[in-house]
Amino acid sequence: MKTTVILLRHAQSEGNRQRIYVGHSELPLSPLGLKQAKVSADYIAGGGLPRPDVIHSSDLIRAIQTALPISLALGLPILPDPALREIYSGSWEGRSMDELASITPEGYRLWREDPANSRPGDGESMRELYERIGGAFDRVVETYRGKTVLLVTHATPIRCLHCRAVFGTVERMAETDWFPNASFTVIEEEDGVLRETVGGFDRHLAGELLFIE
């Protein structure tokens, strides 16, 4: 029985706008992000993707704010799930990208060039995140088998699930792109096999609404 999981990266946050490494820290959506969230809700409510039966979201505010317009449009509650959070990044959290490149050049280089072997800010390693988000995905599939589930989450968890579906391993993460804010990725599961049918879809965003970071 096929289960469809729609992954939505949260819309632009103040952290994205300011090029701050956020992790588990709480920063809300930017004004642009609020517009992206509404457009994303309109797209999914208008039938651009399979209609979700349930909405799970990271419990961080930028994800909840992204999920809210969809919740209102579809009449579905938001089920917060800490397992869908962004990677925890210890001492890196709240620092600008330029600052990180300056004060921890080797760690920053590893995160950019060999992310599978990185542990940002001595926090959570990429492999630990891969296991965490993979476990959350499997629990959702088991709970809602045969249904369509929307997971509102973050850039790095989506990269991990993309690697899991496409490569079967986190080791090839350096080959993956960063999917844009408010983009959709769709992964189907059937008989234990994962298949990514949509990756980083952003064509519902136009002009100034498309922000890539």
DSSP 8-state secondary structure symbol assigned to residue 128: H
Give yes or no for residue 212 having a pLDDT over 70.
no
Integer CA distances (angstroms), 17 to 21, 22, 126, 181, in order: 11, 11, 24, 11
Please state, rounded to an integer, the average pLDDT across all residues of the chain.
Answer: 94
Return the pLDDT at 211: 59
Give yes or no for residue 207 having a pLDDT over 90.
no
Please check whether residue 47 is in contact with residue 68, taking contact to mean a CB–CB distance below 8 angstroms. no
Give yes or no for residue 122 having a pLDDT over 90.
no
Integer CA distances (angstroms), 90 to 77, 131, 170, 195, in order: 31, 18, 21, 33
User: What's the rounded Cα separation, in Å, for the pair 141 and 7?
Assistant: 13
In the chain, pLDDT over 70 holds for what percent of residues? 99
Neighbours of 165 (CB within 10 A): 21
Fold (topology level) of 3-186+197-204: Rossmann fold (3.40.50)
List, for residues 129-168, the tens digit of each pLDDT value.
999 999 999 999 999 999 999 999 999 999 999 999 999 9
Please check whether residue 149 is in contact with residue 4, taking contact to mean a CB–CB distance below 8 angstroms. yes
User: What's the rounded Cα separation, in Å, for the pair 171 and 159?
Assistant: 12
Largest CA distance in the chain: 50
The catalytic site residues sit at 10, 86
List, for residues 39-52, the tens digit of each pLDDT value.
999 999 999 999 99
User: What's the rounded Cα separation, in Å, for the pair 115 and 147?
Assistant: 32
List, for residues 52-108, the tens digit of each pLDDT value.
999 999 999 999 999 999 999 999 999 999 999 999 999 899 898 888 888 888 888
Stated pTM of the model: 0.94
Please check whether residue 3 is in contact with residue 141, taking contact to mean a CB–CB distance below 8 angstroms. yes
